[in-house]
Amino acid sequence: MITIHAIGGYSQIGKNMTAVQWKDEIVILDCGFWMEKVISFENGSASELELSELYRLGIVADDKEFRRKYGNMVKAIIPSHAHLDHVGAIPAMASNYRGAPVIGTPFTIEVLNSLMKDKGKKIKNKLVKLNAGSSYQVSKNILVEFVYATHSTLQTVMIALHTPDGIVLYANDWKFDEYPSLGRRTDYDALRKLTPVKVLISDTTRIGRESKTHSESIVKDMLRDVLLWTENKENLVLITTYASHIARVNMIVDFAHEMKRQPLVLGRSLANYIDAAENCGLVDISGKAKVCGWKHQIVKELKRAMKNRGNYLLIVTGNQGEPNAVLSRMATHEFPFEFRKDDQVIFCSEVIPAPINMANRAYIEKNLKNQSVRIFKDIHVSGHASREDHRDLINILKPKHYVPTHGGINKIAKAVELAMEMGYDLGKNVHILQDGQKLEIK
């Protein structure tokens, strides 16, 4: 019998935390923040909070009951990738599972290290780097295998747990991208070898979107037109995107050189993620661009850029309009910078649909317009699978049981709808779990 413990991520989009149990061996998959709470309530400084505060604010999953009953059976904590809603709570929570190593891809582990260094936290758990395509025996009866998956950050994996009662495939955040700008395609061969899996646990983030998610290569085409084919010779060109989306940052840096402009990468979290990626030998952005994480450096570079607007392409933090990010500080003159008529600001992102983001973005866009800046938005494709991608994954894996995760009841209902279309029965082989519930599969 396999037991799925839905600790977090089944009642909202965030604080992902699932445990898979075979007899007295348990593996925890992901351990993240609820980002909406982080942003709304705490202005982004959640990492400095004590665990008791994180519980109280609902920023992390409530694992207290689980820990009391099953804590000593936990053999490993395995984050699927480096996004904070999957990895963010590890510094605060992993210590409570003493013997359990944290196992992740090299980039994920580097980001985790960087998180802890930044906040002065340190866990005692062993950190294990495991490459996609490799396996690791976490306990007597459970073997973990990492399957490469494309997503909007580097070295994301689907996690296959081989148990005596079959395979649990945990695919929490993935897309099918045949032409990624960096890295490889999702490892279809590995997936086909796992077929049929016993249980598929898969995210529902964008399962409500019809069709198929487009390739990141489309962002490249969009950027090409906006950067190379707009009347912008004399103007400043500035792009803001997700700091963790290293593949995209790298692509933008290359565009800068094609435009004969010097790329300036400005912002603390950008510098951190680039650092982690370079430590793993995945990119060499700092060899091609000036990367500045500290305020005094940023200010200095902005002054230079103002003098020769046509010579630079700026890549900065602040795509959601976060008040503390570089773009906002430039727009509000907190940094000594003046935009000029027809300067170009490109949002290489979409607004993450939470009220705080919508308000922040609306504010900064109005602000920039008042300064006569030209705005280009939604130069972006998602890192998440759409409905037809999900159908393809299910068709490939032919899971006996399907457990949608990473969403509230409304999102999960969409997954159930798809599953029923494909012949699954609710309650029999497609299951709705809520945070705090568990499911036993014979």
Q: Nearer to a second copy by C-beta: 11 or 163?
A: 11
Which residues make Cβ contacts (< 8 Å) with residue 322, sequence separation at least 6?
A: 39, 44, 328, 360
CB 317 within 8 A of CB 324: no
Q: Nearer to a second copy by C-beta: 116 or 432?
A: 432
Would you count residue 434 as binding a second copy (CB under 8 A)? yes
Interaction mask 251-290, a second copy, x per CB under 8 A = ----------------------------------------
Q: Residue 355, preceding bond cis, omega within 30 degrees?
A: no
Where in 206-225 is the site for a second copy (CB under 8 A)?
Answer: 210-212, 214-215, 217-218, 221-222, 224-225
Of the candidate residues 376, 401, 402, 403, the single one contacting a second copy (CB under 8 A): 376
Would you count residue 388 as binding a second copy (CB under 8 A)? yes
Would you count residue 377 as binding a second copy (CB under 8 A)? yes
Would you count residue 320 as binding a second copy (CB under 8 A)? no
Would you count residue 143 as binding a second copy (CB under 8 A)? no
Q: Min. distance of Cβ 23 from a second copy in angstroms?
A: 24
Residue showing tokens 């000029």: 340
Q: Nearer to a second copy by C-beta: 53 or 392?
A: 392
Would you count residue 350 as binding a second copy (CB under 8 A)? no
Q: Nearer to a second copy by C-beta: 99 or 310?
A: 310
How many helices and strands (H and E) does the chain possess? 15, 19
Q: Return the SS3 of 244.
A: coil
Specify the stretch interacting with a second copy by CB under 8 A; choose among 63-71, 146-154, 240-248, 351-359.
351-359
Where in 35-64 is the site for a second copy (CB under 8 A)?
Answer: 40, 58
Residue 8 neighbours by CB distance under 10 Å: 29
How many residues interact with a second copy (rule CB under 8 A)?
Answer: 59
CB 86 within 8 A of CB 80: yes
Of the candidate residues 45, 137, 195, 372, the single one contacting a second copy (CB under 8 A): 372
Strand 401-405 versus strand 312-316 pairing type: unpaired
Q: Nearer to a second copy by C-beta: 98 or 398?
A: 398
C-alpha span between 423 and 429 (Å, rounded):
10
Phi-psi region of 333 (alpha: psi -120 to 50; beta: other; left: phi over 0): left
* Among the listed residues 90, 103, 92, the one whose alpha carbon sits nearest the alpha carbon of residue 161: 103
For residue 107, the one-letter residue type is F
Distances (CA, A) of 41 to 36, 51, 57: 8, 15, 8
Q: Residue 106, preceding bond cis, omega within 30 degrees?
A: no
Would you count residue 413 as binding a second copy (CB under 8 A)? yes
Q: What angle do CA 248, 299, 290 make, to 5 degrees?
A: 40
Q: Nearer to a second copy by C-beta: 1 or 409?
A: 409
Specify the stretch interacting with a second copy by CB under 8 A; choose among 71-79, 105-113, 128-136, 175-183.
175-183
C-alpha span between 207 and 410 (Å, rounded):
11
Q: Min. distance of Cβ 360 from a second copy in angstroms?
A: 8
Of the candidate residues 281, 307, 410, 442, the single one contacting a second copy (CB under 8 A): 410
Q: Min. distance of Cβ 45 from a second copy in angstroms?
A: 18
C-alpha span between 360 and 322 (Å, rounded):
6
Q: Nearer to a second copy by C-beta: 361 or 384?
A: 361
* Among the listed residues 338, 332, 345, the one whose alpha carbon sits nearest the alpha carbon of residue 307: 338
Residue positions counted in the chain: 442
Would you count residue 396 as binding a second copy (CB under 8 A)? yes
Residues at the site binding a second copy, with contacts judged by CB under 8 A: 40, 58, 176, 178-179, 210-212, 214-215, 217-218, 221-222, 224-226, 228-231, 355-356, 358-363, 366, 370, 372, 374-379, 388, 391-392, 395-396, 408-410, 412-414, 416-417, 420-421, 425-427, 432, 434, 437
